[in-house]
Structure 1
């Protein structure tokens, strides 16, 4: 995909959302798309929530340790200021952003930018997570990725939290979460 001028010469933007459970490859796919855009010499701006410091304070890093430089921010409105000249915007861990994220993405797409957003569609309780439902509603393209259930080997759609904690947001990796299919997730609750 690329940004193509329409008949009137203006750029048309859109929103792509990459979603799925923990360990499904969302960040890996985001990084892959953004690296391809860079090869095409398009101007890219990449953002992540400042709260996500699991692997690195500034880089977006996948569980496979693939990484790309990003700008940590604590408010989605900053994206509008920092990405004014970009062709493509990348946003990781969208579920951790404030309620304005979907509107910010909509504004960027209206300005003619390609917006690629990745995030968890469900929290550890199996409920829609943060701003993801609003982004999915506004998305022009949606990619739902799946992990592999660690219990039975089937397609996993759920992020099972292995330790007791009822906070919705709890950063962690394989030490805290594991991917599970619908059956294994519900059987072990």
Structure 2
């Protein structure tokens, strides 16, 4: 009972900034904002409202990608033409000096990728948690986002079941700026 009374009181003092009591940490005014360095902006070319088509021009979905959490996270909201929906959370990990993506979707799938810029394209890689039931081999994933001169972005998703010796295209999409952004 005393803990229930004490904790809200400490929280109130922290929020109010009562001298001599617990206070919320405020960063010094001269300290750079988290995620303001150039490496945190490397994936900004993907931010926007997009219509996505296959290389032949057939619509395959739409995506809204935004910078969130003080511009530390690139958050994707994917809507596939066939009813698939998913979200990815992309962040530059300063400890590992790599980009990481965490993907989840309405099919119960998740994927964790790591990587970084290679010749101006974002290249992230990962592996599936479980070996393929038919082949017994672990499936590797490689997704490359390439900004194009016309402002579009190509996303090429490839898979390999032979430790990266050969790759098969799983998805090839061209992201073009949407004429009317979604609400």
TM range (shorter): under 0.3
Decide which structure has greater helix share. 1
Higher fraction of strand: 2
Q: TM-score, normalised by structure 1?
A: 0.25
> Which structure is richer in relative contact order (CA contacts within 8 A, separation 6 or more)?
1
Structure 2 length as normaliser, TM-score?
0.25
